Structures are given as structure tokens and as C-alpha cells.
Structure 1
């Protein structure tokens, strides 16, 4: 039977936007390496489906990397070459199973990308970042039934990088549904949602399905694979200081006004911004060579040097630690030999080297300087200031050493001292700990109740108050607490380590009374109830102790070479930051860093539960070291160390003046920000007087502080764009809000504008969004003419004449409805650039069959209509329906 029908047409309006990716969709995600995957059971078969999720490649070297794979169902989405590949295995009309693919998009390493694939009977569609990038027609048929597991990544050809927020649907989601909801956290009750893995667990070997039916099991993965999907550390600026000789920095501190201070030693002349210091100021005896002197330098919040000053004599002197009080005065401790001048104050050592403690005013003027020690080698290594502006210092001494009027005598070699100095420089008390081996205090921190926590290393048998410890190897770590009057707190005395050499170098505390300690260990070492084993030689350890002294967690980082934790600082949200040097390849949780030279600088952050959040590096082909780190109440970190040659700290490139120079760097990591970068929205063609819309989701990508969106403003008066939404608004950490951007062209031609988003902190926008569109007055396409439908058994062959007025369509789409209800849903069956389409295995399930043919033009306007095909139906009957 051959029936000639004249069918009117529809044009689909598809809004195509160039939408960038959020830096984070969820707070946590899974990081995959080769062989890592998640297996989920109980996934039902479906005739339609959508697979979607977020991916972030760490590298693109492997040709194939699977994101989601349903092996027996044979559907999935993956990296293939440098594109995304969505595929299904389908029974066709001959009942032969064939695999069909659709490819598109361009992948980049290190960027979050949303990928989605949909299938609906005879059409595959691929979306990247909410944009339809390709589609392909398949013969009508059914998917191969699923009899196995649903895999995220795969046991072979695994994902290299992060996967987050994976969703499986039993419907083919529309572009609008995919684009508008990819940033949203679902409730789990959405229609058609089969499974939903958020990956927010943070630890363990189970990835929960929000629907509760297909929980995933992590294979070849540990807690280290759970990582934060949000922002990583970023170098904001870096400054240098030094001269042509070896210059060193040992520590860094902040004051309440946002200023930064560093201390160390230098030789000859060294320049810090516009300030120059010299180690040749003292008169040396004839034939005596000059050595290194102490320097202290101050920088403002933007990294500009405010002053630099020196102290010392002609022998070796160095500052090892620096701290500030509530009035922004500065305190340093270290070592000096012979006579050393601190401004107009002169100190003379009693033996080979003595300890100094000195105070400077906010302008760099020396206020007082005190010494301690005896005839042996004595050193001050760490200093801390209480909220009452009381000074506490630790280090090592040998023989008999005097601290004001109090004398301490070591039990053997180096012993640990802990001393109190009042704010005016008068000595309070001094305590000793140790034994016959080499024992040193390396770090000291003060809690709000003025209790003191000290850490370092000891060898052999060492006594702390009335408690005796015996090291397991050459050196073990100690952590001990004293009350403000100098009495030993027996509740906090921790010994950590193993049979190797284990040393702690840094300690800090938070506002809740928890203490954070870092250092280095070798072999297998025990930290409370936790056991760590180094990957090679020396590895980094980080531990957290509660107020009562219990070890809450212990973490390690490093590789097969020597890696050290030298500096540690607590963050405002219970996190902590560490710095030091690493060599070769070192792993920090799921993050791997590789050094360029013999050692590079690292900065790393852990959350309050000990999960690695991020790690960044800087370095040259020579030896570069991180020594000190601190943080401020605004959520920034500041680090210092030494470098040689040329080193890039983000966009800041520093070149040493000769040998080693000093760097001071600011790192941005957790302040609230809108988690969209480089955003642009392209509306495409908009017809004059019509309004097209786009949903804009803004997310607070910070960790612990709300962000206020104060206002929107366009760059041009009379803009054809506007915004609908509730302004001002507060966005809590991790939350999102939605606004609607509208485009209503009033003139023909291309238009563009900038949408500026402001908060209440200043005149500069916190985000700029580029908007573009094209106004057009084109009439709708003419309908396809001379449409013929030929029934051949249960198949229908549809043909038509080409449309050319007023413009040529991109292609034609065919929709089918086998229901007796004209208003029932139409099912998308395929697209063709030709002028005919065969609908296989149509069948006559009811008395009516409806088709809709659409001439498609990107940016066109809808003109829908419907044609009905009924067996035995005459042309006159059809025309009556169309009228």
C-alpha cells in the first residue's frame, strides 16, 4: 500500500551554551590509577538509559580509560584517544548484536569535565559539559540484557584520575535535564534514577548508592583513594631575599595585622626588597674570616618588604625560629658564637656556642636580647608566645647551662631544655629532659591555657620529669606537655618510632587543644595505635593528638628516597599544612609529586580527619627546601625555604642571586569563592522579541566560610541580557544557588556583554561571565513536501522532498508514537541528512500510528505539527486531520 501524505513539520529549538566546569561537584571523590575500580551489582536491564558523571584526568597517556562500564549489558562511557566515547551493544532487526559508538569533545588533563551519554531505542547522544557534541542513529532494536556488574573505571584500561557523582537512569535524559542538573545534588527520588553514587564517604571500601540497591565495592583501593574534589593549593605570590652567597631561612611567622616575618642566616650582603643587610659590620681579628649572621625581615600582606635587620658578629650566628605576640612584637631564638650585637645590645657566649632569645618591635628595633648556655655547644631551636605574651623556648644544651639564675646539667651528650622568659626579658623557669644519648627539642607550641607542648627526638634512655622512656632504635620521637608553671603533665607524654631513626621537627596546636606534629621516620614506626612503614629511606609523618595526649591519627607521605617534614601549621578548620623537601617521586595520599632536582619543595594539606587534601611543589634542577609554614585566620598559608637557580611558584618566577636564596610564598586554598572559572554563555540564535533562558548555578567552593553574592551588573547599558534570582544571598560552604540568565534580542546581529557578580567587600567583581548571542528575524523553515510513507510488512519507509526555504536545515528528525492517543509521548527514532528514513519492526500494536517529522536547524524556532498514518487511510482523511 502506498499513501501520499503532505506533512507539516517541527523545528526543535536547542540552546547551545559553552558552559565551563565547576571546580568541584562534591566535597569528595575517588581517585583511580591503573587497576583501580568499583564494582556494583544489581543493575537492571533497560530499553533506554542515561549514564553521566564528572571526570578529571591526571594524565591522558593511556589511549583507553574507562569511566563507567556495564560489561554484559555492554554500554559505557570512556576516554578513547583524546575524545569521549559513548557506546552500546544492541540487538538489531536481524537479532544480531552490534556495538554502536558516538564520539566527541576534547579532553584536557587536570580539568573537571561532565560527561553524559543517552540511548533511546535508535539514537545515541553524547554530551560534554552539558552540550550535545555528537549523536548517531542506530537501527531500531533493544539493548543486550544485563547479567553482570556495573563498573566504575575498570580492572584494565582504568581511569587515571578522579571520578565523582556518577548517575544511572533508565530514561534518555534531555539536554536541558543534563545541563541544568549536573551541578545539583540529587535527593534520590527523581523519576527514572536507577543508581546514584556521590562518593562522599571519605574512607572505607564501600561506595554507597543513594538509591540503596547497588552499593559499590572498591577493588585494589584504600583510604588514600578518597580525595577532595574541590580546590587545591595555589601559589598566589612568591618573594625572594639574599645575595650572591649561601643564604638560609629557618622559620616564618604572621602577626594579627597580616604581616609576615622570616628569620635565618646569610653571608656577605643580602637584599630583601629595597633593604640590604651585611655580615661584615663587626670588626674581626686579623686573619679571622667572617661567617654567617642573623637576619630578620618583615613583609606586608601583599609580599612587599617593610624592613630587614641583622644581628651577630664575625663568627657564625643563625636565627632558627620566629614568633609574634598580640602586639605584633617579634621574638627569635637561635645560636651565636663569641660576641654578637643585637642593635646596641651585645652578648658574649660562654663556650663554643650559646642560645639567644631576642625581641624586636614592630619597626624592627631591637628591644632586648638574652642569652643562655655554658661552656658546651648550646642552641635554641624553637620559640612560642602565649596569649599572655609569655615566651617559651626549647632546644639542646651540653654540660652545664645557665638560664638566668637557674642552672641545668645534662645527663650525657645533648639534653633537651624548655624555658620560660617573661615579656620584659626576665627569666622564669627552665626544665631539662634527656639521658646519656643525644636528645634535642625541635618544636614548641603553646595552647590557650598557657600549657606548653614540646617535641623532638631522643636516643637510648631519656627521663621526662619522673617518666623514663627507652628508644626502640637510634632515635625516637617524643611529645611532652608542661603546665605554665613548668610542671610536667604526665597525661601527655608520647613516644613514637621504631627501630630506625625517627625525628620530629615541627609542632602546632589549634583552638580546640589538639596538637599536630610532623617529622621523618625510617622503616616501621608506631604512633599511638597507628603503625606506618616507610616506602624507602626516610618518609614524612604527620600525627594529630587530642588535648588528653591520645593519638587521633597518623599519616605518612613520601617515596623511595629521603623525604622530610620540617614545618607544620594548624588551619582554622582543624586542618593542617606541612612543608619540607622531597626527592624523586613522593606520594601524598592520592597525589604524586616528582622533583626536578635532588630535592624540591612541597606544601601539603590534610583535613581534620587526616585525609590528604592536596599537595603542590616548586623546585629547580638543584636542591630546594621548604623549612617553615604558617597560616592566618583568612584561610591562607605562608611558606618559606631556600632555592637555587630558577624556580616557578605558580606565576611567580624567582632566580637566585648566586648560590641559595630565600623564598617567601603565599598559598591560597580554602577561602570561599564561586566555583566557576572562565565562564561564558553562548545563546546562539535568538529571534527578535523571543526570550531564551539559561540556568546559572553558582557554588561556594570554600570549606568553612559563607560567601555573599551582593549584586549583578552588566557592562553595557540597554543590554539584551538580564538576570532573574534572589539578590543578595548567602551561599554556605559547598552549597549552590540558581539564577536565570535571559536573552531577548531587539536588533539583528551578534551582541555580547559581561555579567559582573559582586560581593559586599569591594568594588571589584568576584566573577565575570561573558555572554553572547545573535539576534535574527528569520522566518520558520518551510515544511517538507511530498512526504511518502510506504508500508513493507511491519516496516515503514518514509521519504520527502528537501527543504530549502528560507534556509537549508541541518538534518531531519523522525519521531514515532504507536499509541492510540495523539497526545501521548513521541519517541525519538533517528536523524538523517538524507531524504528518507526506514522504521524497522514498527508493528501495528493499535489502530493508529503517528509520526512527527522535524526539519532541524541549530538555533531555529519551533513550528510543530502532527501527521497520522492509519492502515487503509485515504489522503482525504489525512488532510482532514491536518486541518
Structure 2
């Protein structure tokens, strides 16, 4: 990457969309064919063959350019809400667009995680270096890095934005966010050296990552801070948390990886070279259990989700690894997805290997008791239900209840990588990812905009419940983080950086 600055030479931006139930697009070119026109009252309507999108100026033009992947305006945030979006003829789309953000081209504002609350509010987490304005809130992070969280109401209005974590001479990043039934918010991520959360300090190591879990009250005020630091004198000791999920009883589950060993409360867990783990804690911050992938190999948990029946975790492994009572061996890096009980037991494990390497980045359950995963592969894939898989690229796969592979679909060529996915209330899949090279093609032939060479370009796509690609659009640029997605009920939220 050349820089974290926008390739368009403008201000650093974040973008957030909240999509309502029933999102359908009838052809891949459809979003990119919108044309804005003015109405007698000064409002603008984007129209294609009889369907209208009613929005007010100047937001129609901003939104149209975003769908092209080319936002040409010098503000640092775009926020859009679509309630009950149906891109079908003669159906209106209520759409609200708000802009806010950075104050100079040197400001770095990036979204890294997103969640939808029980009342339909959207919570966006990210990192900032410099200054930014989100709604009426002005955040200042001069000569330091901060993690921020912003809340938007169901109608797309800024409710609040707060600095949650900061580091002056270290690193602090948020990887995941979740909201429970009482609107308490949970952040997970990594820090290096020392990090400040409210009036509390997390002490870490300057050379290795430590992990944090932060609980926020409904107004965004920190109400609990928990650190996870590797313990070793002679060997590298790292602890990372990649994802968090909260169930209906407000139990909190986290997933990540350990190098060497780490202490969960009074329990010391050995991590070896690298061991993926899933752990549960309650609102009182007590660790209930920790489950690790053990053995002589290496592993890492990248994605975590759940439903009323249990948990789903996905990630990568190599060598000999034990998933509960079952051992899996992979000569090269491979992908796995596992079903877990909420008491911390492996129920089943499915692996996906490729002749060179493979990995899985995200998982989400479906209403049939199965799960969807998104990841990447390089080489011949085993198992596979699709003889048309190319040599390398991204994939989306669905597993049946119990872990058997239902199907796998390729989404993009080498140089493209899906990183987050969620399911709509109708069972369709939203997928977000990156294009790393100008030669890479994403879903439905998406390519990187020509003047973005040297950057990673984001994309957003939609698949049917059977894995058929419905549409795909360029969606800004990325700086290492995947554009995050989240769904709750009939709402799906998407965030990206520009």
C-alpha cells in the first residue's frame, strides 16, 4: 500500500449503509446505471426503467458516485439508510444520506467493525489519527491513534460518537463489535504497548500484540475493560481477539489466537506456536470457559457467530491440530469451520484444503441450521461441489446442519479476497471484500478503478440463497481491514473506507 490516504487525493472517509428487508437487484449493472434527475421541488430522483429512488440534493449525486466506487467529494463520511429496499420497477426506496468527517487530507479515518442493535440502530467502530467530525461530534486524535464508536439511529441520524480507546506511542485497533439485548456494546481488538480506555490503562508489550475486550454502556461510556496478554520470557507471546458475538442471554463469546500462553482469569492456557481459541465470559467479566485448538500444528480463529442452537467458528490451520476429540492434518495452510455448543464443546469440524493454501475469514449461520463461510484458495480445492473453480481466488461456501458441504462458489480471481458476510431475513447473502491488484476481478467481473493502482479496492456483492451472484459494486478503498457487514432481523449494515 502506498498510503492510507484516499487515492483520489481527498480526505479520508468512512461509509455506512443500512439496508432493509428484501434487498433485490435484477441485474449486475443495475446499481451502476442510476441517473439522477431533478424534480419540480428541487429534489432529485435516480431512475432506471420506471423505478425511483427518492432522495434530496446533493445526496443523490453523492450516492450515485459511491455506487460507481468513485466518490468525488471532500468530506470524510457518507451514511445511508434504506428501509425496505427493493430495486424493482415502480417501488420506491426511502434513502437518507448524511455526510460528515475529516478536516484535512492528512486525517486517517477508517471503519473496521459494524453491528446492528435490537432497535435497528447501527454502531460503527473504527480508528482515527488526526481529526474527524461525525454528526455534531468533533473527535481529535493529534499525534496518537484512537478507536472510536459512533451510533446512528434507525433513520440514519447520528446519535453520538465517542473516543473509546487510545494509544500515544503504541497501536490500538478494533476488530469486532457486538450489541446485546440491553444495548450494551462490546468491542474487541488489539493493542501494543499501553492503551487507555476511559480512566483505565491496559498494560501490554511494546513488541507483541495484546488483546482487549471493552464493554460500553448504551451511551457509549466504558463500563468494563479486560486485557489479554501473552505470558512468556523467552518466546514471543501474542494474544489476539478477532471477533465477538453476544447471545440472547447476553453471554459474550470471543475468538482469536494465542502464541505461547495467556491467562484467562485464573486459568493459564498454553498456546504453543499459535493456537486458535474460543472463550465465554459474562457481563460480570468472569471467564466461564476457554476452548483451544491444540496439537503440534498452528491455528487461528478468524470468524465467530452463533444462533440459539450454538456457535460457529472459522479460520485457518496447518499441521496436526485437535478439534476436541478429532484430529485434522493439513500439509499446507487450510480452512476450517466448526460447530460448538454454548458450554464449550466441539460438535463437528469441517475442513477445506487446497493444493497450495486456503483460509476462511468469516462465518454466519442460516435459518436451516447450517452455516456460510467466506475465504480464499490457491490450487485444487477439496472437497468441492463445483468443477468450474479456477486456480485461485475467493470463495463462498454453505454447510448443511452438522457440517457437510452443501456447495462452494468462486467469487473473484486471484488478487481478490472476501472478508465479511451476512444473511438477510430472506436468506440472501451480502458479501464484502477487497481487490488487491489491477489484474484481479471480483464478483461479476468487478475490477479496481484504474487510478487506484497500488491500493486495495473494496467491493460489496449480493448472492441468492443458492449462491448465485445477483449484483456487485465497487465500494471504496481499504487499508488492510475488510469492509465490515452485519445483519439483525430485516436490517443489514455495511461500512467501508474511502
Matched, 1:505 2:297: no
Matched, 1:355 2:147: yes
**Aligned pairs for 1:802-881 within 5 A:** none
Of 411, 425, 428, the match for 1:618 = 411
Of 348, 352, 368, the match for 1:557 = 352
Matched, 1:439 2:239: yes
Shift of 1:480: 0.8
Of 141, 146, 157, the match for 1:365 = 157
**Aligned pairs for 1:50-69 within 5 A:** none
Instruction: Note the alpha carbon deviations across 1:703-727, whole angstroms, 9 max, x for none.
Output: xxxxxxxxxxxxxxxxxxxxxxxxx
Of 390, 394, 401, the match for 2:188 = 394
**Aligned pairs for 1:414-425 within 5 A:** 414-425=209-220
Instruction: Note the alpha carbon deviations across 1:266-304, whole angstroms, 9 max, x for none.
Output: xxx9942389756854xxxxxxxxxxx676555664468
Q: Give, in whole Å, the separation in 1 of the partners of 2:16 and 2:335.
A: 20
Shift of 1:410: 2.3
Q: Give, in whole Å, the separation in 2 of the partners of 1:501 and 1:315.
A: 38
Q: Give, in whole Å, the separation in 2 of the partners of 1:633 and 1:386.
A: 19
Aligned to 1:466: 266
Conservation of the 8 A alpha-carbon contact between 1:417 and 1:430:
yes
Instruction: Note the alpha carbon deviations across 1:223-282, whole angstroms, 9 max, x for none.
Output: xxxxxxxxxxxxxxxxxxx9869999999997664579xxxxxxxx9942389756854x
Aligned to 1:778: none
Conservation of the 8 A alpha-carbon contact between 1:378 and 1:397:
yes
Measured at CA, do residues 271 and 563 of structure 1 come closer, stay the same or move farther in structure 2, by a change above 3 Å? farther
Aligned to 1:483: 282
Q: Give, in whole Å, the separation in 2 of the partners of 1:634 and 1:308.
A: 28
Matched, 1:493 2:287: no
Aligned to 2:422: 630
Shift of 1:541: 1.0
Q: Give, in whole Å, the separation in 2 of the partners of 1:458 and 1:588.
A: 29
Conservation of the 8 A alpha-carbon contact between 1:446 and 1:453:
yes
Aligned length: 401
Measured at CA, do residues 245 and 535 of structure 1 come closer, stay the same or move farther in structure 2, by a change above 3 Å? farther
**Aligned pairs for 1:579-728 within 5 A:** 579-591=374-386, 594-595=389-390, 599-620=392-413, 622-643=414-435, 647=441, 649=443, 652-658=444-450, 659=452, 660-669=456-465
Structure 2 residues without counterparts, runs of 5 or longer: 1-5, 25-62, 88-92, 232-236, 468-498
What RMSD in Å do the two structures reach over aligned CA positions?
Answer: 3.5
Secondary structure, counterpart of 1:558 in structure 2: strand
Secondary structure, counterpart of 1:387 in structure 2: coil
Measured at CA, do residues 279 and 552 of structure 1 come closer, stay the same or move farther in structure 2, by a change above 3 Å? farther
**Aligned pairs for 1:748-787 within 5 A:** none
Secondary structure, counterpart of 2:171 in structure 1: coil
Conservation of the 8 A alpha-carbon contact between 2:428 and 2:465:
yes
Conservation of the 8 A alpha-carbon contact between 1:646 and 1:655:
yes
Aligned to 1:410: 204
Shift of 1:348: 2.8
Shift of 1:346: 2.3
Shift of 1:407: 2.5
Q: Give, in whole Å, the separation in 2 of the partners of 1:557 and 1:251.
A: 33
Aligned to 1:540: 335
Q: Which moved more, 1:408-417 or 1:628-637?
A: 408-417
Measured at CA, do residues 540 and 306 of structure 1 come closer, stay the same or move farther in structure 2, by a change above 3 Å? farther
Measured at CA, do residues 310 and 615 of structure 1 come closer, stay the same or move farther in structure 2, by a change above 3 Å? farther
Q: Give, in whole Å, the separation in 2 of the partners of 1:251 and 1:528.
A: 41
Measured at CA, do residues 364 and 386 of structure 1 come closer, stay the same or move farther in structure 2, by a change above 3 Å? same
Aligned to 1:529: 325
Instruction: Note the alpha carbon deviations across 1:739-795, whole angstroms, 9 max, x for none.
Output: xxxxxxxxxxxxxxxxxxxxxxxxxxxxxxxxxxxxxxxxxxxxxxxxxxxxxxxxx
Secondary structure, counterpart of 2:283 in structure 1: coil
Aligned to 1:791: none
Instruction: Note the alpha carbon deviations across 1:647-674, whole angstroms, 9 max, x for none.
Output: 474xx55343224433222222269xxx
Q: Highest Rg: 1 or 2?
A: 1
Secondary structure, counterpart of 2:358 in structure 1: coil
Aligned to 2:42: none
Aligned to 1:378: 172
Q: Which structure dedicates a bigger proportion of its chain to strand?
A: 2
Q: Give, in whole Å, the separation in 1 of the partners of 2:200 and 2:386.
A: 49
Conservation of the 8 A alpha-carbon contact between 1:276 and 1:308:
no
**Aligned pairs for 1:177-196 within 5 A:** none
Secondary structure, counterpart of 2:148 in structure 1: strand
Conservation of the 8 A alpha-carbon contact between 1:454 and 1:480:
yes
Measured at CA, do residues 247 and 428 of structure 1 come closer, stay the same or move farther in structure 2, by a change above 3 Å? same
Instruction: Note the alpha carbon deviations across 1:803-826, whole angstroms, 9 max, x for none.
Output: xxxxxxxxxxxxxxxxxxxxxxxx
Conservation of the 8 A alpha-carbon contact between 1:321 and 1:382:
yes
Aligned to 2:251: 451
Q: Give, in whole Å, the separation in 2 of the partners of 1:382 and 1:309.
A: 24
Conservation of the 8 A alpha-carbon contact between 1:576 and 1:605:
yes
Instruction: Note the alpha carbon deviations across 1:408-446, whole angstroms, 9 max, x for none.
Output: 222663211111112222222111112242211110001
**Aligned pairs for 1:112-131 within 5 A:** none
Q: Give, in whole Å, the separation in 1 of the partners of 2:341 and 2:148.
A: 32
Aligned to 2:66: 272
Shift of 1:307: 3.8
Measured at CA, do residues 278 and 320 of structure 1 come closer, stay the same or move farther in structure 2, by a change above 3 Å? farther
Q: Give, in whole Å, the separation in 1 of the partners of 2:394 and 2:198.
A: 39
Aligned to 2:131: 339
Conservation of the 8 A alpha-carbon contact between 1:381 and 1:442:
yes
**Aligned pairs for 1:740-755 within 5 A:** none
Measured at CA, do residues 251 and 346 of structure 1 come closer, stay the same or move farther in structure 2, by a change above 3 Å? closer
Q: Give, in whole Å, the separation in 1 of the partners of 2:191 and 2:160.
A: 22
TM-score calculated relative to the size of structure 1 = 0.42
**Aligned pairs for 1:19-168 within 5 A:** none
Aligned to 1:66: none
Shift of 1:387: 2.1
Conservation of the 8 A alpha-carbon contact between 2:135 and 2:160:
no
Measured at CA, do residues 568 and 306 of structure 1 come closer, stay the same or move farther in structure 2, by a change above 3 Å? farther
Q: Give, in whole Å, the separation in 2 of the partners of 1:308 and 1:274.
A: 18
Conservation of the 8 A alpha-carbon contact between 1:522 and 1:533:
yes
Shift of 1:579: 0.6
Aligned to 1:515: 311
